[in-house]
Structure 1
């Protein structure tokens, strides 16, 4: 059991305060420094996709990392959140943007509950296949019924403007601050959730369903709650992906590759840890850019987009296999090990 999964009552006030120093400093830097030094490219190509994917990773980690329920339908729940938020904003006059996002999240939670029902009978690979059905069904529904896309011939629609209480969040910096605030709020909610008894119920179900049932934990209700909570967060992540990053709402932005991408994020970053979603998303977002720059530098014109895409898949697959074999706890475990060694080195000095 990691420090993040211990109940708050089991941690000393000093340890809790030390754990909070890092996130507080990072948030201060993200709000107070980054908006003034970041370029449009940094916001558009790095920070906005990083924030949306990190939030999706937090949501999936609640389900897969903490509860042990494998899901391959994350992109479907992102799509439900994005399209539900778009249609709520479009069809309900005067509806605040935050209310539209909440409707998107609750719509995704409802769909997640429906596709989470097989978890009452299925486990492991069979459950993963059943959640994969959500991916195909949602994409089929969004392309089959043009109402979801406001009868657009192409199926691609512009996202609504980002404005809250009369404050506009347009432009790269504004969209970054909007996404950062939403991600911060929901990450704190997820952290609080796994720190109380509900979070320990999730872990107990993951570790041993029979033992959890014997000690009085409602296993079926806990599983369904995990699907709902996870899908709610992933749905809002989908709305951020469409509204703040892509600036369009389209089914192609939520394909099967996106589901695997989010799964890779929590595997590489670390299961059953909130920080793991951010570590994994940082690698997933930065890695293709670094690979493209390196490929262009070494191979020149031979390294085209097709070669880049295939190389990304190969290298990413090797990374995932390496993490599963050498460090199953992901980047979080590596960072903790480095931090302890640095602390020990300074202590000896």
Structure 2
């Protein structure tokens, strides 16, 4: 029996999938995704679409924070820019679905590059505060530019149309949202097989050394902000089409904290971590709803919504702290450990 303990070529070393077993599991997962809409009810289709949207935005933030080392709390603002761009184009001009999504991504990308300008001079907490300021300015724009955004009332988005087919329910939108998210994940995974992705990682590990080696910090930091914001803008466009309504309150600061928590819980610097973290953080509130629903609230004179809101915030904060202390590499590392166990089974090291 031949045991391959090392890669035999550069192409093998940079391959996305390192074994036939991994490719087989991915194929089975793709088949499961295709069959899922035919066996799931509306609630689970709603959750699947919401998870896919959150995965798209989380993967963008992971490119910026996990791979480039730039902390951002403005992801919800970039999503809002994408959502409002899509809503305005759809309402006023009825432009095609794909064009609207790309426009939403590019508007968010331009805003992200503008917000990323201070990243050459500040980092860490100061950069996070700068991105919070960007989120505050975006919220002010959404609320007060009433002639374009509808102010606090927001905008009602008509259903998306694809090849004259109206995407007016979760079943139809599933076949658009999930493939787009899959393509975005594939693009993010391939990005780090290129010189640009390796430059991002070098900046994260040691930015001064990266600059000495000839990597332009301003160019690549702005590029990282641009790509991350483009992902957020596209996710925001999908959000607008999915919920069919866009308001300033749809994109609060807590949403940016949610995405940062998803990156930390899933695993920074890992595409798989973006998927696991976004799915985990999206499904936990639904689990909390079930747990609160089992409580005898009427006997205690309580209200489910009033109880759930602070409990959800506490649970999110607790999960972030626990993961940072006990599993800083996140769910992706836990999955890697499980894979190693099965790779070595039935042998032990």
Alignment TM-score, normalising by the size of structure 1: 0.91
8 Å CA contact 1:194, 1:200 repeated in 2? yes
Q: How many residues are matched?
A: 336
Q: Determine the C-alpha separation between the residues in 2 that align with 1:311 and 1:67.
A: 33
- RMSD of Structure 2 on Structure 1 (CA): 1.9
For 2:65, the equivalent position in structure 1 comes to: 64
What SS does the corresponding residue of 1:102 show, helix, strand or coil? helix
Cα deviation, 1:307-344, whole Å, max 9, x if unaligned, reads 11111111221111110011101001111112222343
Evaluate the alpha carbon distance shift between residue 185 and residue 120 of structure 1 in structure 2; reply closer, same or farther with a 3 A threshold.
Answer: same
Question: Which residue number in structure 1 is paired with residue 4 of structure 2?
Answer: none
1:201 alignment counterpart: 199
Between the aligned partners of 1:307 and 1:120, the Cα distance in structure 2 is: 43
Q: In 2, Cα distance between the equivalents of 1:205 and 1:9?
A: 25
Residues 267 and 332 of structure 2 are in contact (CA less than 8 Å); yes or no, is this contact kept in structure 1? Answer: yes
Task: State the partner residue of 2:33.
Answer: 30
- The answer for the alignment partner of 1:4 in structure 2 is none
Aligned-pair CA distance for 1:306: 1.4
- Distance in 1 (alpha carbons) for counterparts of 2:23 and 2:118: 38
Q: 1:248 to 1:324 in 2, by over 3 A?
A: same
Unaligned runs of 5+ in 1: 1-6
Q: What is the CA distance between 1:251 and its match in structure 2?
A: 1.4
Mapped to 2, the partners of 1:15 and 1:310 lie a distance apart of 43
| Contact preservation (8 Å) 2:12, 2:18 | no
Structure 2, gaps ≥5 residues long: 1-9
Q: Does 1:15 align with 2:37?
A: no
Q: Does 1:240 align with 2:238?
A: yes
Q: Is the 8 A contact 1:8 1:196 kept in 2?
A: no
Name the structure 1 match of 2:267.
270
The equivalent of 2:131 in structure 1 is 131
Match of residue 156, structure 1, among 154, 163, 169: 154
Greater mean deviation of Cα atoms: 295-304 or 132-141: 295-304
Secondary structure at the aligned position of 2:192 is classed as: helix
- 1:280 has 2:277 as partner: yes
**When the two structures are superposed, what TM-score results if normalisation uses the length of structure 2?**
0.91
Closer/same/farther in 2, CA of residues 195 and 22 from structure 1, 3 Å limit: farther
Distance verdict in 2 for CA 1:156–1:13, change over 3 Å: closer
CA distance in 2, matches of 1:337, 1:14: 17
Counterpart mapping for 1:184-195 below 5 A: 184-195=182-193
1:15 match: secondary structure:
coil
3-state SS in 2 of match to 1:195: coil
CA distance in 2, matches of 1:153, 1:71: 26
Shift of 1:68: 0.3
Q: CA deviation at 1:67?
A: 0.2
1:85 deviation in Å?
1.6
Match of 1:81 in 2: 82
- Aligned-partner Cα distance in 2 for 1:145–1:192: 39
Structure-1 residue corresponding to 2:140: 140
Question: Closer, same or farther in 2 for the Cα pair 1:12/1:186, shift >3 Å?
Answer: closer
